[in-house]
Amino acid sequence: MLQKDRLKTELGVIYRSDFRNMTGVISLLQFIIENNLQTTFSETYKVLLIIVTIPMTTDEAESCFSTLKRVKTFLRKTMSEDRLSALAILSIEKRMTNGIPKFNENVIDLFALKKDRRVDLIYESCT
């Protein structure tokens, strides 16, 4: 059972201190474990363990897999794993990238500034 008052106090400390640069639940949990703060923040530790063990909904998992399947089908072994991973992340996080002003224009501008963007096209005759 969780102690509500203690949890409230611990969360107050977390929201005020060095914990603010944590990017998510997992990074906060890792920080607590790496610094042996499980007893100091015992209630927060319990809540974080509960949160990380809650499975994602089926829709979320299926959405990720269908996105990856679409990307892989489109690319079908024509690029490196790094590029495939980057494109998969962009596809999965499309709502976030749509919220960035001029995202597509900025990507195009960055690509245009690259010096080494040459494509070698090889023509082989069948004769």
Q: What is the pLDDT of residues 11-21, one digit of tens each?
A: 888 887 677 77
Residues 66 and 30 in one domain: yes
User: What's the domain range around 111?
Assistant: 78-126
pTM above 0.75, yes or no: no
Note the pLDDT tens digit of each residue in 53-106.
776 655 555 555 676 676 666 656 555 666 667 777 777 777 777 788 887 788
Start-to-end Cα distance in the chain? 79
Shared domain check, 44 and 2: yes
Nearest to 14, CA basis, from 102, 31, 98, 49: 31
Is there a contact between 10 and 3 (Cβ–Cβ < 8 Å)? no
- One domain for residues 35 and 6: yes
